[in-house]
Amino acid sequence: MANKKDKPLISMKNIGKIYDMGSSTYTALENVNLSINKGEYVAIVGPSGAGKSTLMNILGCLDIASTGEYFLDGLNTKCSDNKLSEIRNKKIGFIFQNYNLLPKLNIIENVELPLFYQGMSGKKVREKSMQALEKVGLLKHIKHKPPELSGGQKQRVAIARALVTEPQILLADEPTGALDSKTGKEVLQMMKGLNEEGNTIIMITHDMEIASEAYRIVTVKDGRITSDSNSPSKIREVIR
Ligand SMILES: Nc1ncnc2c1ncn2[C@@H]1O[C@H](COP(=O)(O)OP(=O)(O)O)[C@@H](O)[C@H]1O
Ligand SMILES: [Mg+2]
């Protein structure tokens, strides 16, 4: 008999999203079926306006679908707002294009924040945050504030903040979008390393070259999934 471990981490069935714009409606997602297992590294790719952010918001429990079913780690996301934020806080680590760090807090305080939201307190908070910052190579900078850091360093802080709660999924929306190509590559290298350590990663991008860093590429166009296949990097690995 299948147990919980065999179930996909993400299971979306016939997901649709209709935005209500007063006098009219706009269908941003239609009939999306997506299943992602623990340990996968998936890129969601598609042109601007395709529905990627809409899909990411639903995947990340920041928004709810208009139609269909979405189970995350076996939990039905059709639930109260409070329950949904609890699921989000426990299960998902977010990495955004523009880092979303709080400029007045120093680095360690930024990383500690999600643990406080979880109700954790005391020494453990500092310990865990230091571990996360060590992982991204930023222990030396913990008292600095975000405006004093380079773009690459800011994104590493954001990765530490995403990791600190040990989430089931890392959800990255254009994580290299604001970085030069060399720094972008370093961030992608870091994400690959995190996947090799067992983290499940979903990365949203409009850039096919960046998407090919992942092992599976899901293409979204006009609110629908138009392809879902292994990426060239995965195929190279299988051949090797
Ligand atoms: N809150 C909203 N209200 C109305 N339309 C929206 C809203 N958010 C997104 N859209 C529309 O849905 C479509 C998909 O948007 P989005 O998911 O942001 O695409 P992408 O991230 O792929 O660029 C776009 O046409 C956009 O204008
Ligand atoms: Mg977008």
Both tokens of 97, joined, read 């294009």
Give the residue, by CA position, lying nearest to ligand 1 atom 27: 49
Give the residue, by CA position, lying nearest to ligand 1 atom 8: 54
How close is the Cα of 163 to the center of ligand 1, in Å? Answer: 28
Residues 69, 78 contacting (CB under 8 angstroms)? yes
Indicate the residue type of 234. Answer: K
> In whole angstroms, what is the distance from residue 156 CA to residue 168 CA?
19
How does pLDDT run across 130-182, given as a tens digit for each residue? 999 999 999 998 999 999 999 999 999 999 999 999 999 999 999 999 999 99
Specify the pLDDT at position 47: 93
Domain spans in the chain, listed from the N-terminal domain onward: 38-65+81-239
For residue 51, the ligand closest to its alpha carbon is 1
Specify the pLDDT at position 238: 64
- CATH superfamily entry for domain 38-65+81-239: P-loop containing nucleotide triphosphate hydrolases (3.40.50.300)
> In whole angstroms, what is the distance from residue 166 CA to residue 21 CA?
37
> In whole angstroms, what is the distance from residue 93 CA to residue 178 CA?
19
Both tokens of 199, joined, read 């983290």
- φ and ψ at 160, to 5 degrees? -60, -40
Instruction: Output the CA angle 137-141-146, nearest 5 degrees.
Output: 105
Ranges of residues in the chain with a pLDDT under 50 are 1-2
216-221/200-205 β-pairing? unpaired
